[in-house]
Structure formats: C-alpha cells, structure tokens
Structure 1
Amino acid sequence: METKGTSPSTGPDDSNVSENELPIPPSEAKKWVHMDKVDLEKLKWMTDMPKPKPLKNNEGFVARFNFEGDILPYDADVSYREALHHHGEEPGRAGYTLDELFILIRSKVLQQRHIGLRTLANILRNAKEGLYDTAVNPPIIQLVVEAGVVLLLRFALDESSHHVYGEAVRGLYYLIASEPDERCLAMVQPWAPAGLEPGVSSNIHASEKSRKELDEEEKELKDIEVIKLDIIRALIRMDTHIRLRYILETVKPNPDTVIYTLGIMTRIVRHSLTAAWKVVQTPRLLSVILENFLPHNLSPLLTGENVSSMSSVYGVPLKQALHLLRVLAARGRQLAAVLVNTHDVMGRILTYVSLEPSEVAIPLQEALSLSQEAYAMWATLLAYGLSKAEEAIANFYPLIVKQLVFYRDKVPINEETEKNKFNYDVGAQLINSLTRALNVAASQTLLSSRMKLNQGTVIGASGKAEVLPPPSLSWDDLSDIPQLIETCLKKWLVQLERTGQTSFSALRLLGSCCSFLEAYYLKWKDQSSYSGEKCNQKLQKLHDEVILPFLNSTCFSNLVSSPP
C-alpha cells in the first residue's frame, strides 16, 4: 500500500558501517564475557538510525502507521522510545506497514499478536471514518481484505486471551459494520414505511441468478474464495456467529467487546433474510442475548452509571441488543413472530417503555435510548399485526395517555433543546407506535364485516382467498389519543413560530405528530363514528389556526432554507 503518488520507496541504505560509527570497537567487545564472536549486524542497530532516502516530486511511499492507526509522515521524527522502530525494510522510518502488522498478528508471542490486532483495528476504524480517503491508494479496506484479514480475524476469535479475541472482535466490527450508517438509519425512523429496514447484501447476493450459482458451487470453494465473493456469507460459513455466541455465553467479555459483538450480529442480520434466519436458528444465541442484555430488571440503569464505565454489562439492558432484535424483526413477519411467541420480547418492551420521562433525566441517557428502541420495535410488531403487540396497546393504554400528557404539559419544543433531545426521540417513537396502532384499529370494522360475510381478504398459500380475523384493537380503544396529539402539535408549532429555535430531534417529533393526524383523518371516514361535517370543521380549524400561520411564518422559511 502506498500513499498517493507514483511509486513506493525502496529499502534502507545497506552500505557498510565503519568501526568509528559503532558504539564500541569490535576489538573491545571481544574482551567481554560471551562476546568472543562479535555480530556486526547487531552492533549496527546500536548506531544512529539512518535517515530515509529523499523522495522525488510526487513520489509515493509505503504507508506506516503508529499504534493508533495514524499514518506517519515519510520523514517523521519519532523517538525510539515510542517503540515504533524495528528491524524492518526501512529501519530509519517509524511505524508499521500493513504487511508487518500481519506478521505480528501471526506471531507466536501473545503481546505481539495483541499489538498487531489492536493497531489493525484502529486502522480499520480510521478507514471507516474516512481519514485515509485522500491519502491512500488503493483503499485500505480493499487492501486488507485481499491480503486475508478476514481469516486472520476469524482465527484470532478462537484465542483464549481476552487481549487477542477482544481486539479481533473490534477489528471485525470495524471491517464489516458501520456506526454512521446505523445512526443515519435511526434518524430516518420513525418515517420508514411499516418499520422496514434496508438490507445490506453483497453484489453477488443481491442478484438472484448469481446467488443461485453460488449456492450450487459453494461446497467446492475454499473459504478464501468465498470471502472474495461475499464476506458475510463467508463468516457464517466459518461459524463466526457460533463462536461469538460462545464468547458471550461462556467467556463473558468486557462491555466494549459485548457491544462490538452485538454490532457484528446486527450487520450479519442486515445482510439477507437467509443470514437473519441463521442467527435465529443458532442454538441458544437469542436466549443468551435476551437473558444477559435484555433482562426485565432495570435497576442497573437507574444508578446513573453509563454503560461504558461499567466493568460488566451482564444483567444490564442494552439498547444495542434491542436494536439487534428490531432489525431482526424488520426482516420479516415470521422472524418477528418467533421473537414474540418464543422469546417473550413483548414483555421486555413493556418493561422498558414503562419508564416515565421525568424519571430518566439526561444523566440516564441509556434508559431513554432503551425506551426509544423499545417503542421502535413495538411499532415494527404492530405493523405486522401481531396480536400480542395489539393487546399490549389496550393493556398499557393508561400509561400511554399519561406519557402523552407529560409531553403536552412539560416538554417545550423551543427551550433547552439539547437537554430535551432524548425526550424528543422517545416521543417520536411513541407517537409512531400509536400511528401503527391506529392503522391496525382502523381495519377492525372492515375485517369484522368481511368475516361475517366470509369474504376473503388475502390470498393464502393454496391460492385461494382467506379470511383474516379482525384485530383485537378497535378504533374506540384509542379515542383519547388524537386530541392529545393534536394539542401537542398546536402547542409546539406556536412555540416554534415564536422563537424559531429548535433541533432535528424536535422536528422529528413534530413530523411524527403530523403523520399520526394524517392517518387519523384518512382512516376516520371508514369508521361508524365518522361525521363528514365534524371532520371538515376540525380540519378547517387546524388549518386556519395552526398550520397556515406556521407555513406563512418567517420560521418556516428559515427552516426550509437552513434546516437544523
């Protein structure tokens, strides 16, 4: 690998070193005990380090990294005390090349394997953050994959030392996963239709023809050949998910390794429906995650201690674990049904959403983030029409109303926006869940009438129309919700119009209110309680008193021209 330029630099100057440059004359060294045979090559390493050869204009050079993964300047003046000089091809240059790091990772010395893996993980992290985009050609991720990094990391996962397998997990996470992508996907929630999550498969898996060809030929291919075609598929083939389950279940690693492991699992699930089913069908994997990282007991989070500062996260509810299950559920209705019916995910969701916003202030961000993920998953389960998710709305209706009252009375949208960020995020997901519940409840009247007439509503596996049973949730069960959300929208739009101060999270909360009211007024006309005159009056009032003044305000113009 070279930094951008024309050609790599050559090795160090191998010219002979005169005796005057040596720390002691060889004749003197022979007088010492066990120094009767003098090794001139070793004595040369006790002399001053040679300076790198000057580079020509626009000439490239082999990149060398420090232990944090930073590329060192070609002629960087680094003290030997930094331990970055070694017996490599360029002894005058500090740092390690990728090839030299790979040699360290294969070493029989534990400390060298640890240093090599730690540095490599830092390099992969920096590469994912784009720090090398304008400096290195070809891209580092491409280089390390072609050089066999996947196999190196997979073998390192089998090590017994936590120094080694921990860095291997971190390196694998930064190789295949992307935290910025997950954050961006979280930001578009709850606007994604029906809670859908995008798949992130390889080019060969995205093509049905190529996928079928690989299915037929995979048994004859070696692991390294499958890696070149599809890294995630190769990792599953090498039982990476099973090894990670063993680490979580038996080894019980530190918090960082647990979180990186959950991130790797999430990336595997995003790959394809096939990969998602592999995770679900892995014996004890989901049970280990649920029992250890999604318990019903929330007391560890109520201490105010951040997850990153805990010595162990076993027994602590983790938002990353719930995020993994949400992505898993979004892959298909059958997968979601397995989580609900076999693993009692709904019970855990209700535990996490039962936290009142006033009880989880900013120092308890983990608890608020957990509530946000719980509502997001609840919305996904409601989109599939799963009965337990519908029944939970009715059972927790008083709590839901209480939380909406809190937002109506206590949460401003134009004051202390940073302090209220997590309240905004939780509120957006809460209202999104209610929007899904409203869509479910709106279908009850239609499905009930068709059920009485025995009219089919869907085409079953036999090709015949089948009758869907009506949901347990009715339109009247949500009678208090529309007025509360409409009041919140009015309050927040007026506040926003007055000051113009807001944030992205606050606007996302506003958008959730608008989405709910849109669904409400569209679905209302199909209900027995519908009154055309009353509906038109309410819409006209909302438009004239709230929406139109806001659209004509300077605040709206500023938001359109310069969104937060």
Structure 2
Amino acid sequence: TAFSRCGIYKQFVKFYIFNRTKLIMIKRPQSGETEEDILRMQNEFLSQRAKNPKLQPAAQCVKVQKELKKSLFVRNRRKDSEKDVNANAEQPPRNAVLISQVQKEILGEIHEKIVGDVNVQPVENFSDIVLGDIVERKFDAPMLNDKSNVEAVAFPTIERKVLIKPLKTGKSIFASNDAGKKQQFNANVASVPTEVLTKLYGSESVIVNNSQIAEEVHKENLDLLSKMSRDDILAEREKLLNTIDPTLLTLLKKKRQEKLNPPAFIPESSTKVCKDPEKTADPEPMDVTDVLTPSNAAFEIIQQSEAENWVHFDVVETDKLKWMRDVDESAKELKPGEKFEARFDWKGVLLPYSVDAISNRSKPDETASVNDDRDLYLHGDEPHRPGYTLQELFRLARSNVMQQRISAFGAIGGILSIYNQGFYDGVLELPISKIFFLLRFGLDDNTPAVLEVVSRALAYLFYNEADETLLDFIFDNPGCQWQPRLETVDMSADIKELNALESLQNQMRQLQVNDEGNRSLFRSDFEDNENESKTSMSDFQLAETNLMECLLRTNILQRLYFILNTVKPENSSVTSCLKILIRLARTNTDIAGKIVANTDLMHCVFKYFLPDLSHIETNLATPQFYYYPQFLCLKLLRILISQNLGIAVRLMNLQLKQSLINYLSYRADIQDAMIKVQIECLRIVRCLLLLRIDDSLYSSLDSAFYNMLQWHSNYLKFEVGSPYLLRQHASALLMAISSEPCSAKTNRVLSELLSKCCCAWFYRATRNEVTEFSQTTLLSACLHVVTWALQRDEVVYFHEYIVKYLREFLLSASFNKCLSQLITSSVILRKSNDRRYVHTPLPNVGAVLLHENGPQLIIPQAYSVYFLTTLWRLMELQTCQNRNADNKLLVDALMSPSIVASLVEYLTLLTTNLNHYLCSNFYAKIEVKFVYKLLNCVDLLKHFNSAQILQLAYNYLCCLGAEHIQEIEQLFECIIFNTKYLNVSDLALNKWKDVFVSLVQTHYIIVESSNISLSKSSHTNAILSRDWPYFFFKLMLQNFIDNSTQKTTVDFTERDVLEMTLMLVTQLEDSSSNLNIVTPTEELMYAMAAFMGPESEFLSDEIRPLLRKHLLRFYGKYKDYTFEFDKAALGKCTFESLYSLFVDHFQATSYGDELFGSLVLVPMAQKYDSKWRRRMWSDYAPALCYLNCDESLLINGISAYLEPVEEEESLIKSYAHALSTNDVRVGSLPYKIAKYHVEHFRRKSQK
C-alpha cells in the first residue's frame, strides 16, 4: 500500500487537505490500527479527491531528478557560447579568472571522479582535505614495553586491574596509572655503559637501509637498552621471540648475518628458534613449499605474506591461484598413428605436437627466439601446445581488429603455399573449399593492408608456384611451346572407354569396384548435361566439384578489375591479382575468352602495366607497380594467346604489337625486371609467329633481334655461376628467331651471327661442365636454330659448327657426364607419383613428386632429355636430306662405347621399371618422344635380343596417348605384328594389325582451323591399356550382359575374336618370357570370359582345341600360385561377381563341358576360403550334377580338393546332403570330393 511502502507504522502522520472554503482533517493512524485501517483511510482520501480534483495533500513524496553534472570544460564552452550570443556585452579579460579558483574546480572534478559528488562538501573547502607532510614523532624516552600488553593467543587474557590511587594532578585514572608505571620502570633501570652496548649490538642498524634513519633508530634502541637490567633484557627478548612470527624472525636474522658476514652462509634450519612448549601452543604456519613450487608466480607473494603476518594469508587456496601458474610444459605422449589437431605458426608452418622444455635449452643466445614464440600460446585450448588451429585462424580472420585479420590471413596463405609444395600431403587434410570461401570474402575488403595478404593467399591457392616456375623454364626448349589446360578431368570416363564395361557397370552395380582409396579421383555418376548440372549446384557443391568455375561464379573478374583500376594498391596485390588471372586463363578456352571479352579489364591491364618506355624510368632499384611494365602481365597475354587463335587476334587489335616492339627495341642498360619483361616479349613473339598471325612482325623486329644477339655474343657467360637469367634470355631469343617460317627471306648477317654464337657457346660447353638446366636449354636452342637453318637450306653458315664444334662436344667428357645422369634424372623411371589430383576440383600440372624422402621437383637440374631429343631430330633431318657425310660424323661420335652403354642401360630399365602413370604427366611428354627416337635407332637395337625389344615396345605402347597415334601405328608394323618377333603367318598378323589400328584411329584429334591453339590437356590418357590384347574379350562380355547377338567388329565374328586373342596372347608371352600382360587372377577371369560369348563358340571343334591348349598352358604356368579372388583391379569387375555370372552361364549353356567345368572348380580347392565351397554346394547345388572334368584339367590334380581335410561342419552337412539326395553323379569329381570328406569326418567322429 501507499503507507506501507513508505514504512510509516509507528509515527503519527497528519494530513491537512485544503479546500477553497474549509479545512478538512482526516483521522490519523493510531497505534493499534492494522494495515486494513490504513487502506480504509487511503480510500477515504481518494474518494474526497474524486469529488474535488483540486484537492491536494499537504505533503507528498516527490522524486527529485539529480542535476546532470557538467565538466569544467563543458561549462567553459557554454560560457563562451553565451558570450558570443550577447555580442554587445562587455568581454571580460581572460586573465580575470583567478587561478586558485580554477585549481579548485579541477581538483573538485578529480575528487568527484574518485569519491563521489563534489556537492557533499563545498569546493571552496576542498583544499582543507589535502594532507600536509607527515612527520614522524620522535620520543625523548623509550616507550614502555608492558609485558601484559603482549599476548600469546588471538584474544587477551582477562585480568583484574589494580588501580593506583590517583594523584591530585587533574589527570585521568588511565593517565595516572601510566605515569606510575613509568616511575616504577625508571626506578628499576640500571645504567649500562654505551661502549659495551656498541660492542655487543654494533654501531648501526642492520635492518633499516636509510643511513640517517638507521642511525637515529639504532641510537634510540641503545638508549633504551642502557636503561634496562640484564634480566629485563632477557625477559623482553624471550617475550619478543615468543610473539614474533618465526618466518619474520628468520628473515631478520638472515639479513643481519648477510650484512655483518657476507661470505658466510647460514642454513635455514639453524635460524629457527625453539619456542617454549608452554607458550607456543598455536600451530606453526603452513609452509608454502608444501603447496606451491618456486616456479609458481604466487610463491613470492605467499612468502612475503608470512613474513609480514598478513591477515588471512596463512591458508593457501590453490584453486584461486590456478590462473597464476605457469603453462605445463609436459604434454601427453602420443601413440604411433594417433591423430591430433594441427597447429600452425604465423608463417603457416605445421608445428609438432609438443616442443622441448625451455629449461633444457642450454644455449643462452636462444632466449630471444624463445621469447619470440610467446605469441603462439595466446589461445585457450591446449595451452601447452604452440600455434593456432584452422578454426582459431578462421575466427581471427573475422575479427574486428585489422591486425588480427592480417595475421590470420597471412598464416592461412603460408599454409597454402607449403601445401602446394607437397609437404603436407599424407600429413593433414585441408578443407580447401572452406578456405576458398573465407579468402574470397576477405578479398572484398578495400583496406590495402588486408587486401595484400588476402590476395596473396588466394594466389597461393590457385597459382601453383612450382608448376609455373617449371613451365617457364622448359618453355624455351624446342617443342615446349605448348601450354597445359588445367581442366577438371573425369578420369572414370576414360577408364570406361578403355575397358568397354560401361554397360556392365550401369546395369549391374554389384560388378563395380568400390575403391575407397581412389574415391576422390574418379567419378562414376556423370550427367549428360554438365552445364545444367553446374547451374543447379550450390556454391559449396560447385566448389567441391570445380573450384575454378566456383571462383568465376563469384564475379572475380569484376572484383579484380575494381582492385586494379579503382583501389590501385601500391603493393604486391597487383602481382597476386595477375597470378589469379593467369590461373584462370590456364583453365580452358571458355574462361580465357571471358577474360578477353572483359573490355574494361583488358584496357586497364594495357594502360597500367604495359606503358610506353619513353615516359618511364626503367632502371629503378625497386620498380613500381603502376605505369611500369610487368612481366606477369605479359605472361598472362601469352597464356591467353596460346588458348585460341581468335583470342590472339583480339589481343593484337589492342596494340600488343607496338608494345612488343617498344620493349624489345629498348637498348639501354636494363635491370632484372626489364630482362624478365623482354623474355616474356620474346616468348609472345614466338607464339605469334607459330600461329602465323602477322607476317610483318618478324621484319619489324629484325634490328632488335640483331642488337640483342650481338650483345649476347659479346657478353654472355656460359659457365656455371654466371646469371642464369641471361642464358634464359638468350634461349628465348634463339627460339623466337627460329620460329620464323622457313619460306621467309634469308637474312645473311643474322645467320652469320647465329652461327658465331652457336660455335662460341658449344666451345665453352666442351671445356666446362654442363650441370645447370639453363645451360642445356641454351644448347638445345642452338641445335634448334641449326635445324631451322637446314630446313631453309642455309647449311653453308653452320657447316663448320656441325663438323667441328658439335662433334667435339659429343666426344667431350662434359657430354659423357651429362648423359651419365640420364637414368637418375629420368621422369618416367621414377617410382613415385605426382600430385596432379591431390585435390580433384583444383588440378595442377604435376611439377612435384611425392618421394619417400619428401617432395621433389619432377625435372631436376641435370635433366638433358630436351637436348638429346633436339640432337636426334637434327640427325634425322640430315638423314632425310641425304647429308650422310656430316651425319656419319655425328653418329660415330654418338655411338661411342661409353655413350652407347648409358643408352642401353636406360632402355633396359624401361622394359621393367617404366612408370605408366608418370608417362601421362605433362612434363614427361618430351621424354616419351625421346624413347620413340631411340626405338627407331637401328644401331642401338643391335644390343638387344628380340624378346627384350618386344617387351620394351609393348611397355612403351601402353603409355602413348592420342597425340602419338602415328608412333603406335609404326610400332605395330615394325615390332608388335612383325614376323621377326611373333611366330605367326604374315596374313594373320596383317589382319590383326588392321583391327587394332582401326581401334586406335578412332582417337584421332581433329582440330578446326578456327580452333587452332598452342594448348594441350595437362593429363594425357593412354589409348591402349596394359591388357589391350584382351580388349575384344571385354566387348564379348558386354554383349553377353546386353544379351546382344551383334558382331564384335564389322569383319570379326566371335570365333575370330577367340582365335585372334588366344593366339596373340600366347605368342606375346612365349616370345618374351618376362612380358606379363595381366596378373594371374585377371588372366583367369579373361579365360572365363572366353566361354561367355553369345554364340557359345567354345563348343565348336575349331575353337575347342585352342581353348584346351590355352587352359593347359595356364594351369601348368600357375600350378603353385594362389589366386587373389578378393582383390580387384581398378576399372575391372570383382572376381566374385564375374564368378556368379559364370556359374549361371555354366548351368544354362555348358552341356557339361569339361573345359568349362574345370574353370568352375578352380575356387573350390581346399587352400582357398571356404565361402567359395559353401556357395557352390548350397546356392549353386543344382549345377553340381553337370559338373565334371578330367583330373588332368585340375590345377595340382584332385589332391588339391581333398587335402587338407574339410573341418567345417556346415560343408560336411552339404556334402552328406548332396550324396543322400543324388545331387551329384556317381563317379564325378564332386562325388569323389564329397564322399572323401564325409567318410573322413565319420572316422574322426567314431574315434
């Protein structure tokens, strides 16, 4: 209620309510009235007020709003504004304000902030609260030390006080009593000489450090002691020892000993004072060393508290002090193979699970580095581990603090950089799609500092530095003008095409291998309309399928244009944006066309990064980003030109030709940046000349070519240690010059200078070691120039070079050493695999190999295959032009024993150690061509027998793609289907050759004239698989599944297929004993497929002997082999699924054929899993009545089916049931097997 809320119960309250005419008095509450009476009074008042609204109480509670305090500065500003409004008012001088008044107001402000409102005390009296200097009181006489005032317990002992009769002095009883004690004390004091006290207690204090105060305190103590007797001193000493804290006493004694005798060491135990048991009943304080370690931050505080006897600090509350403890340096030990969450430093380096303790680091100079790592522990989870997890970095990347975002994005960029180098493969799995979206959102920030780190991280993700660096290095070699297209490859489609089991896989899913290890590399669900599928995908789904398409969907081209044209960051963001554009251009022709179609972006690129050199300074120590030629911009244009002829034409219309002439004609001294610009210009000129876009381009650059070539002739150093960038520039120059059409007009002066340069550089190569890749690249470019000159009939300028300098180099020790490294530097002989599809939605070229000792570049420094390939091409050209004399000199020099030994060893290793997967790598294309040239060298093949040549040719065929169809046809004719190597008639071999050639020719690449380009797919699939002789068996199996009766080929029937396949496989394996076409289990499966033709040709008299011969050969070859029925090959159906179809077909069409039955019995041998026998004797029990064959057709005879004796009871029951129900014929193999095991089981049971 109103009154109860005010708390008025015991007071008498009188309300006077005034009316216009009379005074009304309401009865006041009485002491005996209750709350209900008070409520009744309230209602009466409210009723009266309802009648007269103007009726008001004499007193009421009103909440007074506190006046808002204003600071001194606000009040001054208001005063100034009021003065400005009244312009006519008289302005008081500024110095009229008293300084003391201002000080008081400021002090009032400070006081208000600390203790509250200033209005509690007037500001004028505020100075009264300021304390003056505190002066310590000095006593003329020592203070009384009444032992009754010292207690041994917390509370004083109750004693009866004997009051002294007060004197007539006007003092109080307490003062009189105190004065009496002083008189009594002075009467008992016996004087002690000062010299004795100084000798006993020293001349100065050992506790107080201040010299002046120490002297006064020490003098006062001596005066006090001089007035005390010896008994009193000992009594006071005993009382002091009993009452003082032992810890403090120990501290004081230790301090005294250290000051008096510094060298001496007094143990802590000797400083303890034994207390009187009667007077020390209290327990000793807790020793902090029992609870806290000295390394704990609270240890020192607790010690101080005990020494000074702080209140309530005698108990250590460890739970409240945990936050002060040091981070535990010891972490749990991980078990081998146990996973843990990855943590990274700010550079993206993966940190180990635990680090060595800092105390174990003995080197003092490492302290600084240890302290620098403190920022790696600023996280809550796992405080003992340094570094940050990806989740923590993601959280920091979204922080409101810009420096935290920069650090997080920088760490993520470092992680991606190391990841693309292959160091994290097999160690951790990165969520690439999530990282991509985080970086793409961060790219929308226009802050230059944030934009720099985010764009760099995006460039690390998409622009593979290893790939791009290696592609730039090999570009200046002959035949390396092709650029890889990095499209997302559907590898499953190629496998289906090779094994022709697409229909089988679609209709019978149970036959498809579920390869968990390669699930990320192969897709089996492939929609017909891929574009519609991509459109219906969400952003994250598209990122998990094709990351480049997802990047393009985020309007990355418009964002990059805005950054380059509007934001204009003067930092590495420009470089990162250009790298992202380069990776987009490499993807495919469609994306490259979208880049060129963005007119604003292209004009921005030409305006800011391809300016005219006449208006800029090129020799800057640190080149600027804008209005300065950027070699990455020229590289972007080169990639775009390589994608399509139409794109190249559009770029030429943007005045690209004028920029190239301007940069290549620049003759002043240039720095590294301009050298890179000229290298990229020369590469673009090479591409334009190969595409035959502008016939006048070459003539416009004649003088520039001559000047640059003249400079290299005079100043280029070929030896190791000289700048490799200059050798790279010279190689690019030679390749650009030799890209002119052979029908062009001869330039005699330029040809002579070319010959001079080639002679000089080969002369230096003869007398120096060739160990660097740029050196072999320059030699390859020289050989290509000579080949180009021979095609133009300019051999007269290079005759001396061929017969003298080139021949001397081939005979030199430098070339022998270079060739001796052919095996160790070979790409296709490596046992490792590349990381092209380490993340399928974002493929790379495959420049990094996953070696057991760590990631390695696929092409080492000593790689000489480019040079050898160009050398063989020169010799082939001389042979075609009938220049036998010059060619004989080169062949004789090349066929020296040491060189031949190296080449023979290289070819021998290819027969067994050829890596078919690496043969499809983009960087291995040139070595695949080189092997073909060696196979055509008759002088080398003389060192091999026919079996070795056949095996080498067969292995080499299985790695050739669509661009090597001519090589495949040549090898078919010369080696594979040649009577020199196979014991078959010419008629049959020619027929077989035509069949397989027609199969290969379906892969011919046909390019329209409008789609001419200098790009190829980065992944080349082999046309012929390892088991290509069995190809038509696969088609026959497909016809069986489809229930189709059509012929396998137009001219081949099922009988022809069986005859050709069985004879070809037999001849190939007999001609080369080391040639293994397929594994033994796969060969068994193909033998089963021979009986599954739709026409049942295995029953014909012409094919039956051939099948018997083949099976007997197969059984004899793998007599002691254990087939792997549970292991399936990639791209092939499992044995279990094929066996089910095979047994069903046996019941339907075998007519009890013993050859057919022998294959059915293979998995039923006792050494294999009992599941095969259980399935046959239960699920396929009806087929047992037809199953029988001669014991000679069984692998290892019938004993393999009898021993060891069957022990599984379920099988014994199946055997007994089949015997009792006559499901097996008496005398058949199943009958003998069942009877033997049942009888043996009965004999064993009877025992």
Compute the TM-score of the two structures, normalised by the length of structure 2. Answer: 0.36
Residue number among 545, 548, 572 corresponding to 1:232 in the alignment: 548
| Counterpart Cα distance in 2 of 1:346 and 1:406 | 23
The change in CA–CA distance for 1:79 and 1:93 in structure 2 (over 3 A counts) is farther
Residue number among 376, 382, 396 corresponding to 2:683 in the alignment: 376
Query: Aligned partner of 1:379: which letter?
Result: R
Paired position in structure 2 for 1:47:
325
| Counterpart Cα distance in 2 of 1:41 and 1:190 | 71
Paired position in structure 1 for 2:739:
436
| Counterpart Cα distance in 2 of 1:196 and 1:554 | 33
The change in CA–CA distance for 1:42 and 1:370 in structure 2 (over 3 A counts) is farther
1:99-498 to 2 correspondence within 5 Å?
99-133=391-425, 136-138=427-429, 143-146=430-433, 148-191=434-477, 193=479, 195-204=481-490, 213-297=529-613, 300=616, 302-307=618-623, 312-341=624-653, 343-356=654-667, 359-360=669-670, 364-387=671-694, 390-414=695-719, 417-439=720-742, 442=743, 474-476=744-746, 478-498=747-767
The change in CA–CA distance for 1:211 and 1:368 in structure 2 (over 3 A counts) is farther
The change in CA–CA distance for 1:401 and 1:100 in structure 2 (over 3 A counts) is same
Residue number among 808, 811, 814 corresponding to 1:555 in the alignment: 814
CA deviation vs aligned residue, 1:17-74 (integer Å, no higher than 9, x gap):
x99989589xx9xxxxxxxxxxx99975443224464124313321211111122232
| Counterpart Cα distance in 2 of 1:122 and 1:431 | 38
CA deviation vs aligned residue, 1:197-239 (integer Å, no higher than 9, x gap):
1111222599799596331122221111100001111000111
The change in CA–CA distance for 1:86 and 1:545 in structure 2 (over 3 A counts) is closer
| Counterpart Cα distance in 1 of 2:584 and 2:493 | 18
How far apart are 1:420 and its partner, in Å? 4.3
Paired position in structure 2 for 1:37:
none
| Counterpart Cα distance in 1 of 2:562 and 2:699 | 39
8 Å Cα contact 2:738/2:785 also seen in 1: yes
8 Å Cα contact 2:682/2:733 also seen in 1: yes
8 Å Cα contact 2:478/2:781 also seen in 1: no
The change in CA–CA distance for 1:150 and 1:484 in structure 2 (over 3 A counts) is same
CA deviation vs aligned residue, 1:128-164 (integer Å, no higher than 9, x gap):
2334346x233xxxx2215x11111111111132232
8 Å Cα contact 1:204/1:229 also seen in 2: no
The change in CA–CA distance for 1:80 and 1:194 in structure 2 (over 3 A counts) is closer
The change in CA–CA distance for 1:405 and 1:109 in structure 2 (over 3 A counts) is closer
| Counterpart Cα distance in 1 of 2:681 and 2:436 | 34
| Counterpart Cα distance in 2 of 1:292 and 1:166 | 18
How far apart are 1:256 and its partner, in Å? 1.2
Paired position in structure 1 for 2:108:
none
Query: Aligned partner of 2:471: which letter?
Result: L
8 Å Cα contact 2:478/2:780 also seen in 1: no
CA deviation vs aligned residue, 1:152-194 (integer Å, no higher than 9, x gap):
1111111132232222111111111111111111111123538
The change in CA–CA distance for 1:539 and 1:164 in structure 2 (over 3 A counts) is closer
Paired position in structure 2 for 1:65:
344
Three-state SS of the structure 1 residue aligned to 2:470 is: helix
8 Å Cα contact 1:319/1:369 also seen in 2: yes
8 Å Cα contact 2:534/2:542 also seen in 1: yes
8 Å Cα contact 1:64/1:72 also seen in 2: yes
| Greater shift in the superposed pair: 231-240 or 58-67 | 58-67
How far apart are 1:335 and its partner, in Å? 0.8
CA deviation vs aligned residue, 1:516-546 (integer Å, no higher than 9, x gap):
221221243xxxxx8xxxx5x7676543222
Unaligned runs of 5+ in 1: 1-17, 29-39, 443-473, 525-529
How far apart are 1:299 and its partner, in Å? 6.5
Query: Aligned partner of 1:229: which letter?
Result: T
Three-state SS of the structure 2 residue aligned to 1:266 is: helix
8 Å Cα contact 1:156/1:168 also seen in 2: yes
The change in CA–CA distance for 1:182 and 1:553 in structure 2 (over 3 A counts) is same
| 1:83 and 2:375 matched | yes
Query: Aligned partner of 2:543: which letter?
Result: I
How far apart are 1:282 and its partner, in Å? 2.0
Sequence identity, in percent? Answer: 25
The change in CA–CA distance for 1:405 and 1:334 in structure 2 (over 3 A counts) is same
The change in CA–CA distance for 1:57 and 1:19 in structure 2 (over 3 A counts) is closer
CA deviation vs aligned residue, 1:461-514 (integer Å, no higher than 9, x gap):
xxxxxxxxxxxxx324x3433332122212222222233467432332221121
Three-state SS of the structure 1 residue aligned to 2:734 is: helix
Three-state SS of the structure 2 residue aligned to 1:198 is: strand
8 Å Cα contact 1:292/1:316 also seen in 2: yes
| Counterpart Cα distance in 2 of 1:215 and 1:201 | 14
8 Å Cα contact 2:476/2:728 also seen in 1: no
8 Å Cα contact 2:485/2:587 also seen in 1: yes
Q: Which runs of 4+ in 1 moved over 6 A?
A: 18-22, 40-43, 205-209
Paired position in structure 2 for 1:448:
none
How far apart are 1:330 and its partner, in Å? 0.9
8 Å Cα contact 1:205/1:211 also seen in 2: no
The change in CA–CA distance for 1:56 and 1:81 in structure 2 (over 3 A counts) is closer
Paired position in structure 2 for 1:3:
none
Query: Aligned partner of 2:626: which letter?
Result: Y
The change in CA–CA distance for 1:514 and 1:108 in structure 2 (over 3 A counts) is same
8 Å Cα contact 1:494/1:550 also seen in 2: yes
CA RMSD of aligned residues (A): 3.0
Query: Aligned partner of 1:545: which letter?
Result: K
The change in CA–CA distance for 1:212 and 1:398 in structure 2 (over 3 A counts) is farther
The change in CA–CA distance for 1:538 and 1:428 in structure 2 (over 3 A counts) is closer
CA deviation vs aligned residue, 1:360-390 (integer Å, no higher than 9, x gap):
3xxx111111111100001111111112xx3
| Greater shift in the superposed pair: 282-291 or 45-54 | 45-54
8 Å Cα contact 1:204/1:230 also seen in 2: no
Unaligned runs of 5+ in 2: 1-290, 306-317, 358-369, 495-524, 822-861, 864-1247
| Counterpart Cα distance in 2 of 1:249 and 1:552 | 58
8 Å Cα contact 1:322/1:373 also seen in 2: yes
How far apart are 1:409 and its partner, in Å? 3.6
The count of aligned residue pairs is 471
The change in CA–CA distance for 1:300 and 1:73 in structure 2 (over 3 A counts) is farther
8 Å Cα contact 1:204/1:211 also seen in 2: no
